Chains A and B, each alone.
Chain A
Amino acid sequence: MTTKRPQGAPRRSLAARQRARSAMLAEQSGTNAIAYEGALPFGSALSVERYRLANGLQVLLVEDRAAPVVAYHTWFRVGSRHERQGKTGLAHLLEHLMFNEFEGMKPGEFDRKLEEAGAETNAATWVDWTYYYENLPASQLGLAIALESRRMGKLVMQQAQVTSELEVVANERRYRVDDDVDGAVSEKLYSRAFTTHGYRTPTIGWMDDIKGLTPDDCRGFYTTYYAPNNATLVVVGDFDEVATIRKIAAAYGELKPAEIPVEDSHPDAPQTEQRTEVLHKPTPTDKVSIGYHGPALADYDHSALSLLNDILFGGRSSRVHRALVQDAEIATDVRGWVSTFQDPGLYEIGLVARPERSAEELLAKLDEQLEKVCAEPVTEDELERARARAELGLLRGMETCGGKAEQIAFYTTTLGEPCGAFQRLEQLRRVTRSDVLKAARRYLRPEARTVITVHPQPKEATP
């Protein structure tokens, strides 16, 4: 039994689109001026059409008629690493406030209008960026353009909204960190592994800092960083490219660019001694979290280390899973992740002990595996399997318009490469066993790691 999928309108021919684009560009001038910066192939069937408005707003459009829906992403090149000490959590609080009130739009109206249009909307903040998105029926694209352009320049931040939202954020912190062992350990790991770089502070903010944030703090951050020249807009879905860029230019053209401050960044000095910390938590088993200083996303080593990570931790056939979970039966869960940050981040490893097994046992067993990959090359078969898993991961991330928009926006924001996901796949294919060995020896250095150990609280200490 087969059914046809719901199709959007057919895409215009390439020549017709070029003619329409040329005619449109010729009409534009002044604040509405639009620069066309060319197209990039996105996979085998789609292309990213690149535009820039006079105020610096980068606009990337991908016509994808697979379904009558549109994904609308707005990414700002600002995250928690841009915060000052004492003001941590500001980028994230501002993200919450962006759903509240802006000129001509009462609190709650933004979400209500979008939900009424059948849209899903949300946002996320991390160390390097903050983004907002709407997934909406294709017929409602105009609403996203109208609302997003308005909140990029006309946000209202009064004491009442800030006070209420601070309480929500504090509750989010309790949920994600204070009452969550993994969240608490991750926060500790980064705060110990980094001593000067902005990556040492948690994106959600320290609780004391959150409570002290003011409307003036929010206004200052907003006017400094939420400017069109610090943003990328990505639209993917069932729309007409030329008509859409016209509407975007009309809606955003009046927004003024800002002078984005030079980042006051303090890279960490190389770590020369292992750092350790022991925590006691109301948790049933021992846990270990390890952070090795790793490469930035743009480094070639990042691909090699990511493949190594997959060989060590990617699924049940990985080396560490087999050694700790299946053979030695001392762990319940093992995981590894190479941070995908703009600046050098961490290669994070997490281990969860079985009951009655210790963190020290886990660490010793892990070290055996890490020593092996530093001593001998991985096999070609392991490398092939890791590449195949990466390819599958890329494809799965591209199934929806939202998935495509996120990939385009993420790689544009962090690397300046709209098609970075595909370039990354090509890079993974080029990585050799020698590259993996080199990455292992370069990054898996015991003196450059931070180890956070968690033990269950003694029974008598609990009420």
Chain B
Amino acid sequence: MSAPVHIETSRDLPLVSVMVGFKIGSVLDPVGKEGLTRLMVRMLRRGAGDMGATTIENHIDRLGADLSEHAGTSTVSFQMEIIRRSFDRGIELLAKLLGSPSFDPAELGKLLRESEGEIIEARDNDRALASRAFRRTVFEDHPFARRASGLIPTLRAIERSDVLDAYARTLTRDKVVMAFAGDVDDAMAQRAAELIHAALPAGPSPARSIPDPAMKPGRRLVFVDKPERTQTQMLIGGMGTHPRDDDHVALHVANTVFGGTFTSRLMREVRSKRGWSYGAYANLPIDVCREGFSLWTHPKATDAAECLKLELKLLEEWRDKGITAAELAFAKRYLTRSHAFEIDTATKRVHRKLATSLYDLPEDYYSRYLEQVKAVTREQADAAVRNRLSGADLVVAITGTASEIGEQIKQAIPGLVEHKVVPHDLE
């Protein structure tokens, strides 16, 4: 068996985490059939071999297990938490689910209808609405702009044959990475990995090819219009970073100063001094290619325009004036000392190895992280912000009530080149 297998043994609790990941995701969904990969992944627990959906769910519960599945743009993953005494039976079940799905047509119909309901229900989540608007606008034609859970018309276009195809090209042996953590030893884990590996389609599957996204120039606003909002959900940002960038760690350190902690500049100015938003954070996620940068706040509707102006000013100051020596020293101490909580459980430790394999991160990405943080200079941090985070090319996404604050928000963004109001039930 050639698949990577990562193991972290800990005897503290009679509990095992099993993670099975695939280096491919919804990027393969055909245009017009978005949501296909996620649908296929969710179908796995709704019929396998001679087991129907109810039998499978009863079996999972009886074992003292919990199974979750995730389908993102670049990866698909399954995680099973299971009481140690049921480990062997849990692995047999997992291998069956991954290797012998029945894709029962009746179950597929049910799941499609259930998924439509979930898409409509998601309109209740103002933050998610702002986030979707943000990603659609920042990434536009890039796969990151597409919704992994699909849209109602794209789900309706999916046939059972599409699901079978998606399965055959996604959950293949050449794309699998496995990890085991907790009350499990090498021999047990290897046996389990071999059983799962053997159950999978042989493949090979198409290569994962996701280019770096490009962003339109200028400042753009997308306003998600929803009635009766007393508060806004607001995201500001653009292009971010990739772990293979030379200045990746420097940018992370700079972002820690700007919006990465409870005492960051953003939190201090927005929440502590003005009380404008309960939460205020800036985020730099990673993936197989360049991801986004965003800062999130949720000010009261009547404070939103002023808050937006302040945040644009803070971004500008961060880019123009950089960070201070004291701020840099603080961020380094925070990142190096809090690192203990990145590795305090076996599951967290093995997750880092799994992520390295799944996202093709540099082999030493995690092992050299602390050393790299300690080596970052002020000049490097400032240059990383200037080079990677544009002040001119920005997207602002807001969920709010357009008739009440739409005009003020528009006026708060100097140099706005595009302004769009979209209904909250657009998707």
User: Which A residues form the contact surface with B (CB < 8 A)?
Assistant: 1-3, 5-6, 43, 45, 66-69, 107-108, 111-112, 115-121, 135, 137-138, 140, 163-168, 170-172, 174-175, 178-182, 282-285, 314-317, 322, 325-326, 329, 332-333, 352, 354-355, 381, 384-386, 388-389, 391-392, 395-396, 398-401, 457, 462-463
Quick one: CB contact mask for B334-348 with A, threshold 8 Å, 1 for yes? 101111110111110
Take A1-B6, A282-B226, A381-B62 as given contacts and tell me if A67 and B345 are in contact as well, using a CB distance cutoff of 8 Å: yes
Q: With an 8 A cutoff between CB atoms, is B349 at the interface?
A: yes
Q: How far is the CA of A164 from the CA of B269 in the complex (A)?
A: 12
A116-B334 in contact (CB<8A): yes
A25–B131 CA distance with the chains assembled, in angstroms: 57
Beyond contacts A137-B337, A167-B274: 9 other A-B pairs, Cβ-Cβ < 8 A, are A66-B344, A115-B330, A171-B298, A174-B298, A175-B231, A389-B61, A457-B227, A463-B227, A463-B401
B110 lies within 8 A of A329 (CB): yes
Q: Are A399 and B15 in contact (CB under 8 A)?
A: yes
- Asked if B275 is at the interface (CB within 8 A of a chain A CB), the reply is yes
Known pairs A118-B333, A164-B272; A179 contacts B229 (CB<8 A): yes
- Chain B residues 218 to 258 lying within 8 A of chain A, measured CB to CB, are 226-231
Closest beta carbon of chain A to B83's beta carbon, Å: 6
> B71 in the interface, Cβ–Cβ < 8 Å?
no
A1-B5, A167-B276, A325-B114 are contacts. A111–B230 as well, Cβ < 8 Å?
no
Q: Which segment, of B260-268, B312-320, B382-390, faces chain A?
A: B260-268
Whether B263 contacts A118 by the Cβ 8 Å rule is no
**In the assembled complex, B363 has its CB within 8 A of some CB on chain A:** no
Chain A residue at minimum C-beta to C-beta distance from B333: A116
A180 partner residues in chain B, CB cutoff 8 A = 124
Q: Which one of A172, A322, A384 lies within 8 Å of B278 (CB-CB)?
A: A172
Give the contacting residue for B231; candidates A107, A174, A314, A396; CB below 8 A. Answer: A174
A-B contact pairs, 7 of them (CB 8 A): A5-B8, A165-B275, A326-B53, A329-B113, A332-B114, A332-B118, A385-B62
Output the least CB separation between B152 and chain A (Å). 10
User: Which of A67, A284, A314 is close to B425, meaning CB atoms less than 8 Å apart?
Assistant: A284
> Given the interface contacts A120-B338, A381-B62, does A355 sit within 8 Å of B230 by beta carbon?
no
In the complex formed, the residue of A with least CB distance to B272 is A108
Q: Is B123 positioned at the interface, with any CB of A under 8 Å from its CB?
A: yes
B13 at the interface (CB under 8 A from A): yes
Q: Which of B6, B9, B13 counts the most chain A CB atoms within 10 A?
A: B13
A108 to B262, CA, bound (A): 9
Chain B residues 46-88 with CB under 8 Å of chain A are 53-54, 57-58, 60-66, 81-83
CB neighbours of A174 from chain B (8 A): 230-231, 298, 300
Give Cα A179–Cα B39 distance, bound, in whole angstroms.
Answer: 30
A182 to B230, CA, bound (A): 16
B-side contacts of A3, CB under 8 Å = 8, 349
Partner of B341, one of A135, A166, A391: A135
* Known pairs A67-B345, A119-B338; A166 contacts B61 (CB<8 A): no
Contacts of A66 in B (CB 8 A): 10, 12, 344
Q: Which residues of A contact B262 (CB under 8 A)?
A: 111, 115, 121
Does the CB pair A1–B344 fall under 8 Å?
Answer: no
Query: Is B81 touching A392 in the complex (CB atoms < 8 A)?
Result: yes
Q: Is B120 interfacial (CB-CB < 8 Å)?
A: yes
Chain A CB within 8 A of B14 CB: yes
Decide: B63 and A333 in contact? CB cutoff 8 A: no
Interface centre among A67, A119, A283, by most chain B C-beta atoms within 10 angstroms, is A67
Q: Are A354 and B117 in contact (CB under 8 A)?
A: yes
* CA of A402 to CA of B192, assembled, Å: 31
Closest partner residue, chain B, to A462 (CB atom):
B227
Q: Which residues of B contact A138 (CB under 8 A)?
A: 340
Contact partner, A181, options B13, B118, B124, B298, Cβ 8 Å:
B124
Interface residues contributed by chain B, number (CB under 8 Å): 77
Cβ contact within 8 Å between A285 and B54: no
Main secondary structure on chain A at its contact with chain B?
A: mixed
- B64 to chain A: closest CB distance in Å? 4
Residues on B with beta carbons closer than 8 Å to the beta carbon of A43: 13
A356 CB, min distance to chain B CBs, angstroms: 10
For B344, the closest partner residue in chain A by CB is A67
Interface centre among B114, B268, B340, by most A CB within 10 Å? B340
With a CB–CB cut-off of 8 A, which chain B residues contact A182?
A: 124
Residues of B contacting A170 in the complex (Cβ-Cβ under 8 angstroms): 275, 300
Provide the bound-state CA to CA distance between A120 and B263, in Å.
Answer: 12
Contact A388 B7, beta carbon cutoff 8 Å = no
Q: With A118-B333, A170-B300, A316-B57 in contact, is A164–B230 under 8 Å at CB? A: no
Cβ contacts under 8 Å, B64 to chain A: 388-389, 391-392
A2 and B193 CA atoms in complex are apart in Å by 14
Residue of B nearest to A65 (CB): B12
Q: Give every chain A residue within 8 A of B82 (Cβ-Cβ).
A: 392
Select from chain A the residue with minimum beta-carbon distance to B232: A179
Residues from chain B with a CB closer than 8 A to the CB of A118 are 333-334, 336-341
B35 part of interface (Cβ distance < 8 Å): no
Residue of B nearest to A395 (CB): B15
- Most interface-central of A66, A120, A121, A140 (chain B CB within 10 A): A66
The reply on B403 being an interface residue by CB < 8 A is yes
Separation of A111 and B268 alpha carbons in the complex (Å):
11
Chain A nearest Cβ from B158, distance in angstroms: 18
The interface residues of chain A lying within 8 Å CB-to-CB of B274 are 164, 167
Contacts of A111 in B (CB 8 A): 262-263
Interface string of B96-125 (1 = CB under 8 A from A): 000000000000001001101110110110
Is there an interface contact between B12 and A284, defined as CB atoms closer than 8 Å? Answer: no
Q: What residues of chain B lie closer than 8 Å to A322, measured between beta carbons?
A: 54
Listed residue (A45, A355, A399) with the most chain B CB atoms within 10 angstroms of its CB: A399
When distances are taken between beta carbons in the complex, the residues of chain A under 8 Å from B186 are 2
Does B7 contact A2, Cβ atoms closer than 8 Å?
yes
- List of A residues within 8 angstroms of B349 by Cβ: 3, 5
Known interface pairs A5-B349, A171-B276, A317-B54. Does A326 touch B339 (Cβ–Cβ under 8 Å)? no
Cβ of A285 and Cβ of B6 under 8 Å apart?
no
Complex contact B344–A171 (CB within 8 A): no
With A170-B300, A317-B57 as given contacts, are A284 and B120 in contact (CB-CB < 8 Å)?
Answer: yes
Q: How far in angstroms is the closest Cβ of chain A from B366?
A: 12
Known: A69-B344, A174-B230, A388-B62. A2 touches B8 (CB 8 A): yes
Bound-state CA distance A254–B343 (Å) is: 37
Q: Which residues of A contact B57 (CB under 8 A)?
A: 315-317
Verify B337–A117 contact, CB threshold 8 A: yes
Q: Which of B8, B12, B277 has the most CB of A within 10 A?
A: B12
